[in-house]
Amino acid sequence: MIYLARHGQTQWNVEKRICGRADVPLTTVGRRQAQNLVQKLSDKKIKIDRIIVSPLCRAQETALIVNEKLQLPLITDERLIEMDFGVYDGKAISTPDFQKARLEFSLPFPNGESILDVASRVYPLLSELENRSEQVLLVCHNAVSRVVDNYFHGKNMQEFLAFNLANTEIKCYEKR
């Protein structure tokens, strides 16, 4: 099984700002959510062999808090870094130009990357993980989570864009 969790809350999540490569830390609520993530894993009797995490501090801090209890191998993988939203990083999610640009999955954001770019780095990681017997927890970001979900459950563009993973929500994917 591959388990996927989004990092805990950041101030930019609260402010509904686009948070791509900006290294925004967790809030107090986000740290508490990370502590609760450990309990969620325990309540669901999820056994993890290894944690793989994005290099951004919000994901790192979430994974470190989870791993204080689990004491597992923790690997940082650059392929899980959040999508580069380019000129839109830090702007309001409701920004009309951003909302229009995000519909063009094959085109990169100005000074950023496209959804296809993200898939080209995330899909090989998922393929590698499918060929291993271990169960892993990926700790990453919302846009990356969309790509992971699409890998396992191909979606049309509307469904793809509608998929959201709440802070510290867990999704489970069976290896194909």
State the binding site for substrate: 6-13, 58
Assess whether 153 carries a catalytic annotation. Answer: no
The amino acid that residue 149 corresponds to is: D
| Active-site choice (15, 61, 82, 153) | 82
Cα distance between residue 65 and residue 53, in whole Å: 12
In what order do the strands lie in the sheet containing 170-173? 74-76, 50-53, 136-140, 2-6, 170-173
d(CA 150, CA 127): 13
Annotated binding-site residues read 6-13, 58
Given 7, 61, 113, 141, the catalytic residue: 7
Would residue 68 show up in a list of annotated catalytic residues for this protein? Answer: no
* 29 φ/ψ angles, rounded to the nearest 5 degrees: -60, -40
Residue positions annotated with a catalytic role: 7, 82
